[in-house]
Chain A
Amino acid sequence: MIRFDFWDNPIVVSAFRLKYRRGSPQILTCLYVLGLVGLGVLLYHFQGPSIPWARLYLVCILGIQFVISSIYALTATMASIKNEVVNRTLDFQRITTLSPRQILLGKLLGEPSGGYLLAVATVPLAMVAAMLGAASFTAVALLYLTLVTTGLMFGALGLLQPLEPPSTKSGSGNRAGAGAAGWVFLPLMILPVLIGNAARLAQNPLGAMLAGAFTPILSLQGMAVGDPWRHQAVFWGVSIPYLVVTPWVQLAVAGLAFHMMARKMKNPLDPPLTKKQAYAVLLVADVVVAGTLYDPSRLIGGLVAQTGLFCVANLGTPPPSPRWPSSARSPCCCSSGRPRWGAPERRRPRPRTPRSRSR
């Protein structure tokens, strides 16, 4: 059973200690808040008639904070785990009395602590905007909940790193740096486009599901036009606002990534999911996609589409027999090119021979 006494988690304690000794998170937070206040002043002076100032300001604060939280969490956990693997310090963590889950929870909560501090610093400004009529407190509270789960999701995704130290060739370090930079600049480039085209995305069921369930884009777009509950996920004919759906979906993704990494840390040679877990994940994905595309008026056509999607999704399922060629194997089951399913049962000494018994 995982324990949530993160305040006593040694990794959280050490992360906080280092950050507060080496960096100046208080100064950074003050500057950030001042910057947001300055933004509010600028928006007030250059506001247009279409959106009230308070609502626009709230959307800007939350949009900026979502981007910062997700990038901060992703890069912080990714860099932390990568450094531990490259410097080979993760082994020493793994042999302490902390379980893999406690180690990862420490990384998830301790490393992006600066980002959490910045998020907390925006709460007074958001409350002021809410009091000025930008949105209801319920909507603001749900968006802050989504902010927390966004940080957890991206942080958990950043934990998914290979546990083998890279080769000592110089190119690998440069590639790692380029990879990390890509993770930062890609969302910075894509997110504004997504936010700008949120209304168009919402018209396509699958596009709406991807944008709305995994990010707060649609909720923010709804808030910008005065109705944060506007965009709703339609699942098997039942409508649920994305404000309510998004945190749960993000928590599920975070939980899955967390579980996969904890399993890898327990035994690096094992695949990240067991066969049953991989099938369960694919089943859930199939059901969600089918539920999203469900249209009772076009049952036959919809059924064909859903069946087709089901078959495509199941190309990724693990084969029933390990004799299948490696190219047909699911990424869920392959680990270092060696499938572990179907391997002989381990950890059992050989039966004693008659000569041994006579001793």
Chain B
Amino acid sequence: MIDIKHLRMEYDTTVALENLTLEIPRGEVFGLIGPNGAGKTTLIRILATLLEPTYGEVRVGGVDVLADPLAVHPLIGYMSDFFSLYDAMLTWEYLDHFARCYKVDAKRRDRLIGEVLELVNLEVRRDAEIRTLSRGMRQRLCFAKSLLHEPEVLLLDEPASGLDPAGRLEFRELIRKLHEMGRTVVISSHILTEMTEFCTSVGLLEGGRLVVAGRMDEILDRMHFGLQLEIEVLDQADRLAALFERCPGASGLAVNGSRVTCRWDAGREALPAMHRQIVEEGIPLVSFRADSGDLEDLYMRISHHKTS
């Protein structure tokens, strides 16, 4: 769906993106992570045809964004970290304005506006002035605007910044719905724990370079991340720790009260046997949890925290 080849972006003496090659298939929720100044916003703005790169080829839905940007516009929906709206307009006026800008047929316009307002739970504020909306509502309205023309690709630059936990929860649900509808989403965010929940693939940008990209589980396997075990027992935590110390697949052991955590490199297949051994040793097991690591672990492990 999105095909980027040897992309380079220079601002005077600064190189914002360097030799970036990336392919994002249709239907993916692609998370773009990286420190401040890594080039995430620059990449998203190039995909949104707001910036022309210095070098390289970029295609969205098979259309070259540089040769024919107007043909790309109906395919993309864009939302920036600034929920920029026209304060003097009413909610429905704002959506009507952009529905006209996207040349939505007059007969479908009203129905479509109703549908997107219902999707983002803003029906009750349809006739309200935008200046009276809360930050969360403004974010949802901005999001609704980017869905009006039913784009195939959504480009979201820090969409959840400044939102309260309830707002972020609602936003996560919206992203899930879009994924179920088969849309391709490119989202950049600093809230890595949330992105773990809905991203199907990620890319780590640092200093303008793409350090790693692909499906999360593939990257974690490639980086030999292993599994993170967290076991809670009623007592005899020391005995459990000693058991893991004897086990060659376990490392990074830590005991915290009745919880024992460690890294497990022996693979998922060996876990049932380990579980059985703990029970046979008579250690009173409360919970046994194996995580494959999350985006935060990946980021902290791979990133050098360099800015562009």
Contact = CB atoms under 8 A, between A and B. Distances in A.
A347 B67 CA distance: 9
B80 A96 contact: no
A88 to B, nearest CB: 4
Contact of A22 (B12, B70, B80, B88): B88
A11 B94 CA distance: 11
B101 A338 contact: no
B74 A97 contact: yes
A267 interface: yes
Interface string B1-39: 000011000011000000000000000000000000000
A355 interface: no
A200 interface: no
Interface in B68-107: 70, 73-74, 76, 78, 80, 82, 84-86, 88-89, 93, 97-98, 100-103
Interface stretch (B51-59, B194-202, B204-212, B234-242): B51-59
B48 interface: yes
Contact of B85 (A14, A22, A89, A96): A89
Interface in B45-67: 48-57, 64, 66-67
B175 to A, nearest CB: 20
A194 B23 CA distance: 63
A347 B66 contact: yes
A269 B52 contact: yes
Contact of A347 (B57, B80, B93): B57
A87 B87 CA distance: 10
B145 interface: yes
Interface in B98-151: 98, 100-103, 145, 149
Interface of B: 5-6, 11-12, 48-57, 64, 66-67, 70, 73-74, 76, 78, 80, 82, 84-86, 88-89, 93, 97-98, 100-103, 145, 149
Interface string A245-278: 0000000000000000000000111100000000
B5 A349 contact: yes
A96 B66 CA distance: 15
12 contacts: A13-B97, A14-B89, A14-B93, A18-B89, A18-B93, A91-B48, A268-B51, A269-B52, A270-B52, A337-B12, A348-B57, A349-B6
Interface string A72-99: 0000000000000001110111111111
Nearest to A270: B52
A344 interface: yes
A357 interface: no
Nearest to A343: B54
Interface in A7-41: 10-11, 13-14, 17-18, 22
Nearest to B104: A97
A336 interface: yes
A31 to B, nearest CB: 23
A359 interface: no
A96 B84 contact: no
A18 B56 CA distance: 42
A298 interface: no
Given A18-B88, A96-B101, A97-B101, A346 B52 contact: yes
B80 A91 contact: yes
Contacts of B89: 14, 18
Contacts of A336: 12
A323 interface: no
A92 B84 contact: yes
Nearest to B146: A92
Contacts of A11: 101
A22 B86 CA distance: 14
A350 interface: yes
Interface string A330-359: 000000111000011011111000000000
A347 B56 contact: yes
A88 B100 contact: no
Q: Which 4 A-B pairs have the closest CB atoms?
A: A10-B100, A96-B101, A88-B84, A267-B52
Contacts of A338: 12
